[in-house]
Structure 1
Amino acid sequence: MSIDKAYNNWAEQYDSNLNKTRDLDQKATIETLEKYNFENVLELGCGTEKNTQWLLNKASKIIGLDFSDEMLNKAKEKISSENVIFQKADLTKNWDVENGFADLITSSLTLEHIEDLNHIFRQANLKMKNEGIFFISELHPFKQYSGSKAKYETEDGIHELEVYTHHISEYMEKANQNGFSLIELNEWFDEDNKELSRLISFVFKK
């Protein structure tokens, strides 16, 4: 099943289903970004706006990109602010956003669905102001090594999504090649499992 079709099917239950990864990502996003100042935000894989509302408390303008029509429809139902634009986008293509727009770019639980990280960092560099920051939160590759991946349950059974494993060294290498330096790296654990981290997050600076 294609990624956009899978997320279209998942959209109706995405916010309500038990999902430790989704909830921990929201915690990681808030705890990491609350100490930074930003005005213009480009949110990659904004989904149903699970992080957009919080970002709007600090930002003056947000552009949320996602490849799923149904996820975007859910987001639009919940946020109608003139300061937020939701638009459908294929992140593997060139992003239809003004160059130098963002002082913050976020990507949450999105890059596991994208094979070419170099393209993501190259586009992020184009769309970001100098001194801007790029926040990435993803399923930890250690978690992927153990067999974990994005999935959701339906009446027909569990549907697993196509994913790619990106090693920590790959994030570092592609970021460096495209003009970013690492300023923060954190690992995030479930409350009931402190041995295997669920998420990894990076903050890169242009």
Structure 2
Amino acid sequence: MMFNDTTSNPDLIMVALRGTEPFDVDKWRTDVDFSWFDLHDVGKIHGGFMKALGLQKKTGGPKEIDMGLGQPSFAYYTIRQKLKDILMDKKYEKTKFIVTRHSLEGALAILFVAVLVLHEEAWLLERLDGVYTFGQPRVGNGEFMKEKLRVYNVKYLRYVYCNDMVPRLPYDNNIFLYKHFGPCLYFTSCYKGKT
């Protein structure tokens, strides 16, 4: 979904990624696929979440794909093209966008931006005002996006509530090796924020 409230802030578009339906078994299987995509200069990324964006291991997430008739529409390519179409319009020349979502879809929000970085979509990244996730799970290993977000000056903030299980998944142990990255605003059970 994309929102542009022209009354309160005509120069901001909010991209909120759609999540997993409660009874969609195939989508849940994708969410719990803990395999890795190993991307050069980016790090290792959660395979299931990358599949949810439409990037498949066998193709490696190419910058462009055939989006002709009969081809499946993949989330990453569809959203990226829609953003380009809107932001190229003269009346939106000052408009920026944010990407946000909560829980498992928060993973898709930061991975959408990670793929923009991987594809060197500098023009879109200059128009990105920030990525804000709420209760997002871990999406990569310790090397994931370590320096890349700084190169493009991407603002990224994770919000975490202390009793939320999702940010603790997948586990950060000797088997899974998933890590969080970037700044976090952590809320205690009294809803007092800490960074």
Q: Give the TM-score taking structure 1 as reference length.
A: 0.32
Which has a greater percent of strand?
A: 1
Q: Which has the larger radius of gyration?
A: 2
TM-score by length of 2: 0.33
